[in-house]
Amino acid sequence: MEMEMEMEMEMETESRKSCGAFMEKFTLQPSCSASDELPLNGLTFAVKDIFDVEGHITGFGNPDWAKTHSAATSTAPTVLSLLKAGATCVGKTVMDEMAYSINGENFHYGTPVNPISPDRVPGGSSSGSAVAVGAKLVDFSLGTDTGGSVRVPASYCGIYGIRPSHGVVSTAEVIPMAQSFDTVGWFARDPLILKQVGRVLLQSEPHSVGPTNIIIAEDCFKLQDSNSSQLIETMVNSVQKLYGSTHMIKYASLGDYIKENVPSLKKLMTIGTCSNEESSYIPYSLQDLSTAMRLLQKYEFKENHGEWVSNVKPSLGPGIAERIQDALKTTRDDNIDVCRSVKTELVAALTALLGDSGILAIPTVPGPPPKLRTETTALEGFRAKAFSLLSIAGVSGFCQVSIPLGIQDNLPMSVSLLAKHGSDWFLLNVVEAIHNVLKE
């Protein structure tokens, strides 16, 4: 009995040290002999429990999923690439159940501790991966981003997080959530490591072209609970220091632009529109864009996992259970083809807006991380604004990086930069340049 108590105390102490970020710890050594020439030599990383690792069960954030699936027989190519580049993997991290939340609270495995604001959620669904980086337990980590699952926890934990262009990083041997939006992203505490990982995972060629213009989406910044003027001012000052003037900065109403250039959105008007008072400030076109993303996401989730959920009837945490049951009711008649048309039109519209070397600046999220255990209904307005912002890159497939801007009142602040599909390396260069200015 005493031995059991000691073991439990040791496990509890270890969990506190690791901020509850890890599902399991193990070590995968680099697959090549250590060399200073390897881009990730000496760096450690963790992976979200959605990636296959040979010999380990991929748990997908749910114990019933883990019980009904066997250990993986091979390792995801993205993980293998990082090992080949000299990095060491130290374990798998906690995630939201079936990747279906942006909060980071797991009913079964606990909530990883936000390293900046312990009384706040860490953000999901890649919660453990973000916390592992923010708490300096690893140098970088892998997550996935479907509806915001890298960008949100990066913002909440005060670190860098990239959602790469859709389709440029392999999602093989990663459990799908909704393939039209699924991406493999990663976290780091500084943009240099973010770029080093990008050098390994991105298919685009490195180049150093500077931006021709930076478009600040004023209507998106108005969705901020606070600090919107401060975030814009920080962006403007950074550009002025970098390029000697602010002539390249332009201001736009992104909602109006999308309304004029994505005609299929009109077919989604009023569907799923949130009646919460907070949502009245969201441009209708961005609400409709969010609706398109969520409808298609629900449909594809059902196609991927509906049969398993119906057969197994897994235990699901609050919020997740309702969301998944709602997804199981989705049919192709629910404007799914319209949603796909919206995707095509938005890609064309934003490509025309940004050109080859344009940058779009928006808030990552509408405010600081919510407090732990906040009722789902109380977050309705916040979530509506969040998904209106997150759907811009989600639906277009453009690349986006969340940039930490420091701490105010013990809460993290962030902003996001987006670039056209395939311009990931260009975006990472701009992010690094802005980081260097912010440090000064």
pLDDT mean values, one per 10 residues, the chain (440 residues): 47 64 97 78 97 98 98 98 97 98 96 97 98 98 98 98 98 98 98 96 77 95 86 89 87 97 89 55 94 97 98 96 96 92 98 96 96 90 96 98 94 96 95 87
- First-to-last alpha carbon distance for the chain, in angstroms, is 57
Distance (Å, whole) CA 2 – CA 5: 5
Of the listed 18, 126, 149, 396, which one is catalytic? 149
pLDDT at position 425: 95
Q: Looking at residue 67, what is its pLDDT?
A: 98
Q: Identify whether 245 is a catalytic site residue.
A: no
Residue type, 326: D
The answer to whether 367 touches 225, Cβ cutoff 8 Å, is: yes
CB neighbour class for 376 (10 Å; exposed up to 12, middle 13-18, buried from 19) = middle
Reading the block at residue 431, the tokens are 């992010």
Q: Residue 279: what pLDDT?
A: 58
Active site residue 125: yes
pTM: 0.94
Could you give the angle at which helices 284-312 and 336-354 cross, rounded to 10 degrees?
Answer: 130
Q: Is 84 a catalytic residue?
A: no
Catalytic residue among 18, 101, 117, 125: 125
Which pLDDT does position 245 carry in this prediction? 78
Catalytic residue among 48, 298, 343, 385: 48
228-243 vs 424-439: helix crossing angle, rounded to 10:
100
Q: State residue 388's pLDDT score.
A: 97
The pLDDT assigned to 269 comes to 76
